[in-house]
Amino acid sequence: MAAASDLVNGGVAALQIEEPEESKNNVAAVVAFAPIPWLPAVAERYERREKLGEGMFGDVYKAWDRVHDRIVAVKRLSGRTDDRFVKTSIPDLAREVMSLAACRAHPSVVQLLATHVDGGRADGDCYLVTEHAGPMNLRQYMAVRCLNGQPFGEDEVRDVMRQLLAGAEHMHRAGVLHRDIVPENVIVGMDGDSATGRMVYTICGFGMSKPAGQTEKDDSGLLASPSPYRAPELFLGCKDYDGRVDTWSLGCIMAELVTGTGVPFFGGALDKEVFDKIMHVVGTRGIAKWQGLEHVAPREKVAGLRKTASQERGYLLKMFPPRMLSPAGFKVLKGLLQSNPDHRLSAADALRKPWFRRRFSLGACCFMSHAAA
């Protein structure tokens, strides 16, 4: 069985899909996906290499920094309305940069190295240069592990969660809410060589971040598409939230690591589908007792949740029995997946749980289907 480090080093190649021949011959497709030229000053300093990924706010490339002789990641943000990646304003860019700057000097948060702005145009491109923390993201890594029949052991799950919760705690102490902690925004790398180094998990993707305590007048970007990692209170329209929206997302990631299926734990095509699945798994009792419920949800929604609170206790324990996750580990998972945000674990509280202080080694976590019956 391949070592975890070998899967990281060879995993990207294993995930490559051969492009259909007709696509290769399609000139329009080639033009549409051709890399957009970088700002001359950026192209002069950074040698663009392979594409690492793309998201709502920009495309990211691996690059060589000719000045400091190091590999970096360069994210391009566009201000042009005809571009797929549009960063609508300088304040939005400034917010992302300030979030990264506030979270500097922590090993579980990607480090900002430089920024470059096209000052000659109102709609010019902006570039964020960060450390290159690893060759693949956690979504890709989970897929490789699943394809290789190599589930995460509980010790591994604990190590991943310890690093990610530590990064989240650092962000929250710095006054930053990430709001988009998903496997695609966690980079997987190695600290040292593959023989002696340990796996390192780094949070990136701060395009949706905001200062804690700042109420958003418009959360349309946050709610643009159904997210299997969105906290229940956000589905209900809550705008006054804290770092526990991030710890909910981390609970979803923990559930995926334990199940080993490589797919979202609360997957769904529509908001209602995702929310209903959450309520079915964790139960409605918690959210029904949330003091803020009446202030954010329609009256009929409140009545419906409270009506079913006595019957809908959830199936989380049945889905994660002791043979699959130790009782101490389950307490962490259950605490992160509390539907009532007032009772949900913060990152700091989660890290104080006994699971992170003692070893509960049960070998590899079992594969299981997490589809609600």
Residue 36's pLDDT is what? 79
Q: Where are the domains of the chain?
A: 45-132, 136-217+224-356
Please, are residues 61 and 48 in contact by the beta-carbon 8 Å criterion? yes
What are the structure tokens assigned to 45, written together? 């300093």
Helix (H, G, I), strand (E, B) or coil at 252: helix
Neighbours of 125 (CB within 10 A): 22
Q: CA-to-CA distance for 373 and 150, rounded, in angstroms? A: 26
Binding-site residues from annotation for ATP: 75
Please, are residues 246 and 254 in contact by the beta-carbon 8 Å criterion? no
Predicted structure pTM score:
0.85
Under the banding of pLDDT at 50, 70 and 90, the label for residue 94 is: confident
Name residue 84's beta-bridge partners: none
* Mean predicted confidence (pLDDT) in 78-100: 66
Please, are residues 131 and 109 in contact by the beta-carbon 8 Å criterion? no
What are the structure tokens assigned to 241, written together? 């939230």
* Mean predicted confidence (pLDDT) in 338-367: 81
DSSP state letters, 81-96: TTSSSB---HHHHHHH
User: What CATH number belongs to 136-217+224-356?
Assistant: 1.10.510.10
Mean pLDDT is lowest, of 191-200, 220-229, 280-289, for 220-229
Q: Any residues with CB less than 8 A from the CB of 31 and at least 6 apart, and which?
A: none
Convert the pLDDT of each residue in 46-66 to its tens digit: 999 999 887 666 789 999 999
Helix (H, G, I), strand (E, B) or coil at 109: strand
As annotated, the active-site residues are: 180
Has residue 8 got a pLDDT over 70? no
Domain 45-132 classification at class level: alpha beta
Under the banding of pLDDT at 50, 70 and 90, the label for residue 113 is: very high
